[in-house]
Structure 1
Amino acid sequence: MVGVSVGEQNFIKGGIAQDLRTDGRKRLTYRDIYLETGVIPQANGSARVRIGGTDVIASVKAEIGRPSSLQPDKGKVAVFIDCSPTAEPTFGGRGGEELSSELALALQVCLLGGKSGAGAGINLSSLLIKEGRVCWDLYIDGLVISSDGNLLDALGAAIKAALTNTAIPKVQVSAEVADDEQPEIDISDEEYQQFDTSSVPVIVTLTKVGNHYIVDATAEEESQMSSAVSISVNRAGHICGLTKRGGSGLDPSVILDMISVAKHVSETLMNNLDSKISAAEACEDES
């Protein structure tokens, strides 16, 4: 929890009202983004993202699994988040557990369209090996190293970069077997395929402070918010998911305006992230 005096509160709110935030940014401007891929060699894919003082790592681990009976033609993805107590003292104990669960659920909605998988930004069908029998299970783990606001956007960016960095082994399935038997599979140690990230969205969180909303809020700015809406948008401009936090209600017309703004902001953010991911991958190949 950030302690902010009354004078600082007025300074933060006054600056946002005048479109000049305390760090010199305009309301719809992100802080500089630092991105690195391949930071965890043991994972199938990984990335580290720093946005200002917020520092997060995401890793992807692929394991052979069995499709669910409700979605026999798709693989499965699970998201887990760990908020390190070193990032923020309040992350120790239940505070960290509750925030980890909240972030994991929000990412599930933004990236996977919720538990149903409807509108998923991650193509679950690409994880299928044999319908109803064998699939890839992706375990996405996020770690918050330090926190200075806008955790969800940072984690979403790290996950997108980690998925781009993910290489999945090619698999050969044995000949047909009885329906009640699991087919034998041969996992290649040499041939890999890149994970399809063409539909993976970016997450844009609009934080309402006073009568205005801002992107990439710092921890101090978040301490003055009345509500925040996180919207995931893919490259085609389609909304993949939306979540809200904060006790203050929002008029539907305001939410529609937020969606319009998020679509506009997401285009710049997507291009920026794609450029940084390509540069990070090139550096990794050279090392």
Structure 2
Amino acid sequence: MVGLSIGEKKFIQGGISQDLRADGRQRRDFRPISVEIGVIPQANGSARVKLGATDVIASVKAELGRPSSLQPDKGKAAIFVDCSPTAAPIFEGRGGEELSTELSLALQRCLLGGKSGAGAGIDLSSLVIVEGKVCWDLYIDGLVVSSDGNLLDALAAAIKAALSNTGLPKVSVDLAAAKDDQPEVDLSDEEFLQFDTSGIPVVITLTKIGRHYIVDATSEEESQMSSAVSVSVNRRGQICGMTKRGGAGLDPSVILDMISVAKSISQQFMSVLDSEIAAAEAAEADDA
């Protein structure tokens, strides 16, 4: 936890109550965001996102696999997060493992939907090559390089950017030469299919401090929170997932208001993120 004096705590809480935060932002303002793509050449797609002093990397590795018998018409995706011990003192030892697990589960809930796949931001049906036989398995890894709060939103943005940078090799299937009921496949070295990221949501975390809630909280602000609600919202304004942390309970009317605020802020954040991804893609094309 961030060690703050009583005066510093009162300064943070008083500023938020007056809609003027310690770094000059208002309650609903994000810090500046920057996006860099293609940062890990050996991955199928990768991106680095900086949100203020929070710095994260996401990479996507695609491998051919077999759909599960319960969902033969869908591919598979898994999300894992690693918190570098150098990112923050709290990440050393067990602290980093616990946060890594918490972030991984929250991202899976926000981006992959429930166990049935309902509400999934990532369309797993688009990963099927031959129903019940061949599909893509996506391994999405997040790394926290530097932590200054709001890790979940930054990681979700990095995953969205990494997926927009992901190219899946074109697959040719020979059903006639099937062995043991498993068709033969051939991966192209030259043709790649771009991953469709239009339905992938952004995550907006609202952190409650006193009677107010803020977006994109810093580590110091998070140390003063009573609870936080993270809502993933897609381009159409639909809720794809939700997760809460912090022990304090929230009145249903407060949660509904938080969802409403998250929906309106998500469209602004999505627009900024889209333009940053587009700029990063243009920069990569110029370098190529």
- Scaled by the length of structure 1, the TM-score of the pair is 0.98
Cα shift readout 1:48-85 (whole Å, capped 9, x = no counterpart): 00011100000000000000111100000000100000
SS at match of 1:175: strand
In structure 2, the gaps of 5 or more residues are none
Cα shift readout 1:89-137 (whole Å, capped 9, x = no counterpart): 1111111111000000000000011333211000101100000000000
Cα shift readout 1:206-245 (whole Å, capped 9, x = no counterpart): 0000000000000000000000000000000000000000
* Equivalent residues in 2 for 1:6-155, closer than 5 Å: 6-155=6-155
Cα shift readout 1:176-231 (whole Å, capped 9, x = no counterpart): 46695211101000000100111000000000000000000000000000000000
> AA paired with 1:182?
Q
CA RMSD of aligned residues (A): 1.0
Q: For 2:213 and 2:71, locate their aligned partners in 1 and report how far apart those are by CA, in whole Å.
A: 39
SS at match of 1:170: strand
Kindly indicate whether the alpha-carbon contact (under 8 Å) linking 2:174 and 2:185 is maintained by their aligned counterparts in 1. yes
Aligned-pair identity (%): 75
Kindly indicate whether the alpha-carbon contact (under 8 Å) linking 1:40 and 1:46 is maintained by their aligned counterparts in 2. yes
SS at match of 2:103: helix
- Where in structure 1 do 4 or more consecutive aligned residues deviate above 3 Å? 176-180
SS at match of 1:68: coil
1:236 is the counterpart of 2:236: yes
SS at match of 2:272: helix
SS at match of 1:86: coil
Cα shift readout 1:4-30 (whole Å, capped 9, x = no counterpart): 111000000000000000000000000
In structure 1, the gaps of 5 or more residues are none
Kindly indicate whether the alpha-carbon contact (under 8 Å) linking 1:202 and 1:266 is maintained by their aligned counterparts in 2. yes
> AA paired with 1:124?
L
Q: For 2:157 and 2:148, locate their aligned partners in 1 and report how far apart those are by CA, in whole Å.
A: 16
SS at match of 1:183: strand
**Pair 68,15 (structure 1): closer, same or farther in 2 beyond 3 Å:** same
* Residue 162 (structure 2) aligns with: 162
SS at match of 1:43: coil
- Scaled by the length of structure 2, the TM-score of the pair is 0.98
Kindly indicate whether the alpha-carbon contact (under 8 Å) linking 1:108 and 1:115 is maintained by their aligned counterparts in 2. no
1:196 is the counterpart of 2:190: no
Kindly indicate whether the alpha-carbon contact (under 8 Å) linking 1:60 and 1:162 is maintained by their aligned counterparts in 2. yes
SS at match of 1:184: strand
